[in-house]
Chains A and B, each alone.
Chain A
Amino acid sequence: MPGLARGNIEINIEECKGCGLCVESCPPKCLALADELSAYGVHPAVYAGDGCTGCGICFYCCPEPGAITVFRLAAPPKTVAGSRGGQHAPAV
């Protein structure tokens, strides 16, 4: 799928405490702290929308269990000879 970044992240504004560790840690530097405040009075992290590689570093640096969810482009479906139609080889 051309045009799509390899990765993507979702930040749960309800859990983000605005510590900024993900912004500091992100290797491709595609995270930032929002200008506006969240309901908790912090500047939550936001994803610029581009450049994420799905490396997951931000997830491990973030202290909140569920503030960040990391996605990666799914690998194209693996096709093995014989697995579509015809006779199936038994699993080893």
Chain B
Amino acid sequence: MDTVMEGEALEMADETTSSPTEQHAGSNGYEVVHSKSPVFYDIYERKSELKHQTHYCPGCGHGVAHKLIAEAIEDLGLQDKTIFVSPVGCSVFAYYYFDVGNVQVAHGRAPAAATGLKRACPEKLVLAYQGDGDLAAIGTAEIIHAANRGEKITVFFVNNAIYGMTGGQMAPTTLVGQKSTTSPWGRRPANEGFPLHMSELLSTLEAPVYIERVALSDNKNIMRARRAIRKALENQRDNLGFSFVEILSPCPTIWGKDPVDARRWVAEQMIPSFPLNVFRDRKLELPPDSAPPQRPVSEVLEIRKEGVRGLSAPHPHGFEQLAIKLAGFGGQGVLLLGQLLAEMGMREGLEVSWLPSYGPEMRSGSAHCHVCLSTQRIGSPLVSRPQVLVAMSEIALRKFAPQVAPEGLILYSGDKLPEDLALPTANVISVPASRIADKLGSAKATNIVMLGAMLAETNCLTRESALKVLEAKVKDCALLEIDRLALAAGWEFVNHQAYAGAVAQADGFAY
């Protein structure tokens, strides 16, 4: 039985205003048409006694922009789906006010963070809110590339032609002739260039679907801003693409004007320099696209399915997670050794990560990489406390030995340890790997000798999978033969030679 009456249905349709709290009217017969949006918190939990007020100065444009955005979010019914990315600047505290998902990001990086949020949560309404110092100075690269990629986010750019929070320094958008603490005689184009017009700049790009500049200068323009803000959010709801609204906004305190004059200044000074316009409003036509095939890494690396676990017997790894650091000079095959270990781990059905870390001095400079082998998913590929350190040079040994975890293992490619070296409580084995490799016919195989030694000592992975990986990686038959011998030689050295043994040092390596 349908109980909705026609009269009620009509009244519901007629209810164009947002607030359902009608009954707290001042006098009889009145109903609320505009009141504080429920998108704002009732109480602002900020570090001040003034929890019922915003921190903005009297007459600040941010408050108006906040209200227009809150109203639009409320009217779209997307409060529970909104993620608000607040910037560095006066509006850094937007998260105290908006009762939505909030992320506050590094200076200028709001479009980059919003990109990640939107791609990870495409069903959310992700909006970045930035000032002119944030967006047009330190964050210029982020906004241009986010716009150019056509990220399906909404960016609100509050332009007040000055750095407000830090006390009035010249911004990229400061007007010609405008005084600031860093342009005390007015901005001189000869020295500081011209104001940056972000809306015009972004409208040279293909991808954005909507770019408009509005101003909080008078009643009419504020209502235009209201429409633009709503449209920019609707665009995102409809998954249309990148939307950008530049809001010319008064900053009475820093401009040194009273709020009414500041608003007038927006109209008289800012708008002539930053003309209001809809710079872009169109649908984005993308060329036909097919998603690239998604393949597992093992397939891309041509490790055949049966090869992954094609070992004669499953190997008991004896660890849940093994963090390995491999270090030496560039050119010693340090990074390659890490790749080999990672690939072996993959063949043995482990989760693996390989993280190279090398500077510009990679050739004949230091190089190291981090390898994690794990039976569980790996949280971070970074190895700061290696359980195994393979040091291929004395410099690497001195640098990384203090990081090794207690009871860890250090494999050092050298005849003997430097005597003055203070070592943590780790097992240390010196392997004359380069001499062994030279004897076998190629110094290139030094890293494989170390691999053999490491496998012999730790038993973390099998020689069998090492051979399989070498066969897949090394195309030169002669070198492959040397590698086979090197692997065996490293293995033999550890199993048949006495090693330095556990060296305990009281070196302040406290746990």
Contacts and interface: CB of A to CB of B under 8 A. Distances in A.
Interface of A: 1, 4, 7-8, 10, 14-15, 17-21, 24-25, 27, 42, 54, 56-57, 59-66, 68-75, 78-80, 82-83, 88-92
Contacts, number: 138
B187 interface: no
A24 B33 contact: no
Interface string B50-71: 0011101111111110111010
Contacts of A10: 26
A91 B2 contact: yes
B29 A1 contact: yes
B9 A71 contact: no
B344 to A, nearest CB: 60
A51 B4 CA distance: 38
B64 A66 contact: no
A24 B2 CA distance: 50
B59 A90 contact: no
Contacts of B54: 63-65
Give the residue among B57, B58, B263 with the most A Cβ atoms within 10 A: B58
A15 B53 contact: yes
Nearest to B1: A90
B30 interface: yes
Nearest to A88: B5
A65 B438 CA distance: 77
B121 interface: no
A14 B53 contact: yes
Contacts of B40: 65-66
B6 A65 contact: no
Contact of A63 (B6, B29, B59): B59
Interface string B470-492: 00000000000000000000000
Contacts of B504: none
B91 interface: no
7 closest A-B pairs (Cβ-Cβ)?
A63-B63, A66-B36, A19-B59, A19-B58, A71-B30, A83-B7, A17-B58
Given A1-B29, A63-B61, A92-B9, A69 B35 contact: yes
B226 interface: yes
Contacts of A56: 33-34
A7 B17 CA distance: 15
28 contacts: A1-B29, A15-B52, A18-B58, A19-B58, A19-B259, A19-B260, A20-B59, A20-B260, A21-B59, A21-B259, A24-B263, A56-B34, A59-B34, A60-B68, A60-B223, A61-B222, A63-B61, A65-B63, A66-B35, A69-B32, A69-B34, A69-B36, A70-B34, A71-B26, A72-B30, A72-B33, A75-B14, A83-B6
B100 to A, nearest CB: 14
A54 B33 contact: yes
Contacts of A27: 219
Given A79-B7, A91-B4, A74 B31 contact: yes
Nearest to A25: B219
Contact of B6 (A19, A42, A57, A88): A88
A65 B53 CA distance: 8
Contacts of B106: none
B64 A60 contact: yes
A20 B258 contact: yes
B25 interface: yes
Given A60-B222, A78-B7, A83-B6, A70 B33 contact: yes
A62 B223 CA distance: 13
Contacts of B58: 17-19, 42, 63
